[in-house]
Amino acid sequence: MGKQANGRDPNISKASPKIEIAQILEAHRGEYHVIVLHDFPDPDAIASGFAHQVICAAFDIQTDILYGGRISHEQNIALVHMLGLDLHAFEGKLPKKYDAAVFVDNQGANAMDLVKALKAEEIETLLIVDHHEPQELLQPQYSDIRPVGSTSTIYVSYLNEEEIFKLDQSNTQLTKMATALMHGLISDTSNFVYAKKEDFRAAAILSDFVDSEILSQILTQARSKQVMETIYQSLANHLVVENYSIAGIGYLRAQDRDAIPQAADFLLTEANVHTAIIYGIVALDDGEESLVGSLRTNKITIDPDEFVKDVFGKDAEGNYYGGGKLSAAGFEIPIGFLSGHNQEDYKDLKWQVYDSQVKHRLFDRIGIQED
């Protein structure tokens, strides 16, 4: 089947996204695809990846869901375990079985190890389905990128249509999917605080199919001791300038990485704070280290995606160190040559340098002089 120079199949008509997706999957019936999530998948990524897997099965397409990092947030672990979802951590090498890749809730910038592995194996990017700001890293056959509250919202618009299949209360697999998508929608809209009408419409569609008991158990998972300690550190170290709450929290284990956005959410509840920025050095499983941070804001004039890109810039390959969506953003900067070292004096000096540099960049962006 011939393709145009831009990678689009000429036999696929230009139509609404749900019809486009159905036509593309039909054209690839019988293949084996890899569904790529970002390295530290959240409920929206996990739910959307699962939804895409279920949709692919209707077109006789086998799939694996891969992510490059770790699932560590208590609710994310509960979501995967209670719904019995089959996700796989990428271990550095791809099997030869994949015909194409689909990027869900990301556009490759925070899944770079998988992007490089796919490129090395010459596996084409078939689809991107995402709600974050558009990036230019990948050239998929088709993209559905919308400014809605969650990628789960986009998948609901596919599911309740005859072109793919309709939700069915008697189908336990679809009930699991609806429950996961509702969790993803709730999570990425901050309990509907930042939801748009498309998100409310999606929630209304899902409401008849969700397993409320399982969803309640997932949403009420208690914070771990490590998360509470990280929040404590952020409170002890934070400073408030121009309604920004900024905190460097030192070193964290890889399995505690998800405590950073939770601490940012917590600091955002302080009076007279409209934006919280938390960061620390995370020791990765391979011995490398990265400066990892999270931004949360309720100020409508702040664009989190633009903010972190402006503050932290790009790497040598031209890829931004961070990105975001309507009310949140994240960033990750490899430490590289300075990674590791067990001497406490060395670790303290290294942290002082990175902490000072981050604060300098943030103060410069905010427009205040350092004291």
Whether residues 273 and 209 share a domain: the answer is no
**314 is in which domain, residue-wise?**
225-366
**162 DSSP β-pair partners:** none
Q: Is residue 1 part of a domain?
A: no
| Residues comprising the chain, all counted | 371
Domain endpoint, select from 198, 219, 240: 219
Domain endpoint, select from 185, 219, 253: 219
Domain endpoint, select from 195, 219, 243: 219
Whether residues 336 and 271 share a domain: the answer is yes
Following DSSP, what letter does each residue of 225-285 receive, concatenated?
Answer: HHHHHHHHHHHHH-EEETTEEEEEEEEEEGGGTTHHHHHHHHHTTSTT-SEEEEEEEEE-T
* CATH number of the CATH domain containing 343: 3.10.310.30
Whether residues 192 and 230 share a domain: the answer is no
Q: Assess contact for 111 and 103: CB atoms under 8 A.
A: yes
Following DSSP, what letter does each residue of 110-175 receive, concatenated?
Answer: T-HHHHHHHHHTT-EEEEEEE-SPP-SS---SEEEE--SS-HHHHHHHHHTBTTTB---TT-HHHH
Model pTM greater than 0.75?
A: no
Q: Assess contact for 251 and 279: CB atoms under 8 A.
A: no
Work out how many domains the chain is built from and give that number: 2
* CATH number of the CATH domain containing 90: 3.90.1640.10
Whether residues 84 and 169 share a domain: the answer is yes
Whether residues 192 and 239 share a domain: the answer is no
Whether residues 42 and 160 share a domain: the answer is yes
pLDDT per position in the chain (371 positions), as tens? 334 334 444 344 456 787 889 899 999 999 999 999 998 899 999 999 999 999 999 899 999 999 988 887 788 888 888 888 999 999 888 989 999 999 999 999 889 899 999 999 999 999 999 998 888 889 999 999 999 999 999 999 988 655 555 666 667 888 899 999 999 999 899 889 889 999 999 999 999 899 999 999 888 876 778 888 898 999 999 999 999 999 999 999 888 888 898 899 899 989 999 999 999 999 876 678 999 999 999 998 999 989 999 999 988 888 888 888 777 889 999 998 888 877 888 889 999 999 999 999 999 999 987 76
